[in-house]
Homo-oligomer: A and B are copies of this chain.
Amino acid sequence: MVEILDGLPVAVDAMGGDRAPAEVVTGARQAAQELGIPVLLVGDPAYLSTLAPQPGVDILAASEVIGMDEDPGRGVRVKRDSSIVRCAEAVREGRACAMVSAGNTGAAMASALLRIGRLPGVSRPAIATVIPVPGSTPTILIDSGANVDCTAPMFVQFAQMGWALATERFGIRDPRVGVLSIGEEATKGNALVKEAHVLLEGGAAGPDVHFIGNVEGRDVMSDRVDVVVTDGFTGNVVLKTLEGGVKAVVGGVISALTADAAIKEAAKAVLPALTPLANELDPDTYGGAVLLGVEGVCVISHGSSGARAILNAVKVAHHAAADKLVGRIEAVIASGRT
């Protein structure tokens, strides 16, 4: 595996995302200044060279950009000097301890897979997303979009990798791992879920992974479970459904509290009390999803990421690198039977 060296920067795809490069660069620079984490800005040298020099901020030139809607496989094959590909190479070559991109998700995955490489023993890398749970530690949802069609042994590895992330990222001692289904009983669910349930119940994920059985959609945003295992189709739908649902409810609250001048005035007294909740629910707080199962740390941020999201993504990436997340995953994969 890639050796994580002290003082190595986090490579940041300066050109990736709807608000790149300005917001991305701002967030990365803030990470260097406020958190003392060195960053390597990867992107258009004409743009990046105009920035005022800053300690802890280096630049790696990349002349191309893979667009948000571009075909990921083709983009990565053809645009060898794209910022996202150069980020992955920086990790592989030991010039960066981790990478962060808010660009084309498929291209980030493909770059990480092709340039950083799959972790030995891992059948399919998967995307782990952090779901906020008001008043509790967040829930990790894996796979949230990398693998549309899955097999039961893949679920076992998702359980292992999600478990490793829960211990590393949130310091949860004995994370509860569940399979997403439509009922708690082992007999509930589609064929894939039932098969995965049997494997996990039988200890296929190794002695450390605490399998609690099936969980339901309503448990995702609750404190009943720490790691929710599902296929990439269902996971992506769940993630976006929650995103839309939270937005609709928060939007409804804001509309109600700004409907007229009188309520606006009255709401002034309560809004500060709602700010911590708003922050907790803001995806920017968590910096992005993590691609697990590759030989390095790859954080994939939301396309709409602003400076704060990028700052948090750099923090998450650095923490995972320093805490040897990849090593934890290697160990738990080795402890299982798949």
Task: Type the 1/0 row for A217-239, where 1 means its CB is closer than 8 Å to any CB of B.
Answer: 11111100000001011101111
Contact A182 B247 (CB under 8 A): no
Contact B149 A251 (CB under 8 A): no
Known: A190-B148, A218-B244, A270-B270. A256 touches B276 (CB 8 A): yes
User: A56 interface residue, CB < 8 Å from B?
Assistant: no
CA distance A216 to B232 in the complex (A): 13
User: A59 interface residue, CB < 8 Å from B?
Assistant: no
CA distance A246 to B244 in the complex (A): 11
Known: A252-B277, A267-B270. A240 touches B218 (CB 8 A): yes
CA distance A273 to B133 in the complex (A): 25
User: A180 interface residue, CB < 8 Å from B?
Assistant: yes
User: A78 interface residue, CB < 8 Å from B?
Assistant: no
CB-contact partner of A244 in B222, B248, B249, B263, under 8 A: B222
CB-contact partner of A259 in B148, B256, B267, B273, under 8 A: B273
Contact B269 A243 (CB under 8 A): no
User: A281 interface residue, CB < 8 Å from B?
Assistant: yes
Contact A240 B253 (CB under 8 A): no
A251 to chain B, nearest CB (A): 7
Which chain B residue has the least Cβ–Cβ distance from A238? Answer: B241
Contact A245 B221 (CB under 8 A): yes
Known: A221-B241, A241-B241, A244-B217. A182 touches B233 (CB 8 A): yes
User: A250 interface residue, CB < 8 Å from B?
Assistant: yes
Q: Is the interface of A mostly helix, strand, loop or mixed?
A: helix
CB-contact partner of A220 in B217, B219, B244, under 8 A: B244
Contact A182 B241 (CB under 8 A): no
Contact B236 A238 (CB under 8 A): no
User: A145 interface residue, CB < 8 Å from B?
Assistant: yes
Contact B274 A256 (CB under 8 A): yes
CA distance A34 to B259 in the complex (A): 31
Q: Which chain B positions have C-beta within 8 A of A135?
A: 251-252, 255
A168 to chain B, nearest CB (A): 24
**Contact sample, A vs B, 30 pairs, CB 8 Å cutoff:** A134-B251, A134-B252, A134-B255, A145-B182, A148-B189, A149-B191, A190-B233, A216-B240, A216-B244, A217-B240, A218-B247, A220-B241, A220-B244, A221-B244, A221-B245, A222-B248, A234-B237, A241-B241, A241-B242, A245-B249, A249-B281, A252-B277, A252-B281, A255-B277, A256-B273, A266-B266, A266-B270, A267-B270, A269-B269, A270-B270
